[in-house]
Amino acid sequence: MKYCLILVFAILSLKVSAQQKQFSTDDNGKFIYYEVVETGTGKDSLMLRAKAFVDAYKKTIKKISNTDTSITAKGITVIDKTVLVASHPSGEVSYNMTFEAREKKYRFWLTDFKYIPYARDRYSNYVPTTNIGTPLEQTPGKLSAGAWKDILESAYNKTAKLAENFKKALATNQTEKLKKKIETISTKKW
């Protein structure tokens, strides 16, 4: 009976670990995160909201070009490595983001994922070790396969979180920012 329970737990743990989310591949064999979303909002409003989202994330997403129906941008996300309680950046993943809007629907995709590892410099800051990124589709050797699997999983999770934030921004009208009343401080009154 004891061995049957251990066997059942082992099989369940293998099933749970095998159900991890992964990137899809496009026609060229590159990883891609692609979504088409139906909405009740017009094309112009969707474009304004997408521009506002890219402007809000200006530290990590840089706009390359935009037309009246599309936006192309480059972005970077930092991959963290956690050991017990402490966490530090292990590298960054760069990607290309494309957004296209039509009347009452839009699509966006993130592709061309490249990983650049970080290392400590002499000032104890984590900095990129090289300017050339390794595509996430390229599988490493057996020695670093476990670390690469963690990088892929973290990259997918960060990409999915960015996509959820993007969809929330396009679903709500956040382009009209509330103007805060500037309060002047008088030194004459106590």
Specify the CATH number for the domain of residue 112. 3.30.530.80
14 within some domain? no
Full residue range of the structural domain in which residue 69 is found: 22-168
Residue 36 in any domain: the answer is yes
Q: Is residue 181 part of a domain?
A: no
Mean pLDDT of the chain: 82
- pLDDT, one tens digit per residue, over 20-72 is 678 888 888 889 999 998 988 888 888 889 888 888 888 888 888 888 889 99
pLDDT interval class at 2 (50, 70, 90)? low
Domain-embedded: residue 160: yes
Scanning the chain, the segments in alpha helix (DSSP H) are 2-18, 43-56, 145-171
Return the ∠ at Cα 109 (arms to 104 and 113), rounded to 5°: 170
Q: What angle, rounded to 10 degrees, do the helices at 43-56 and 145-171 form?
A: 130
pLDDT for 19 equals: 54
Domain assignment present for residue 27? The answer is yes
- Of 72-86, 99-113, 116-130, the one with minimum mean pLDDT is 72-86
Residue written as token pair 């996509």: 163
Look at residue 10 and tell me if it is in a domain.
no
Residue 5, in any domain of the structure: no
**For the chain, what is the domain count?**
1
Residue 94 CA to residue 135 CA, distance in Å, equals 9
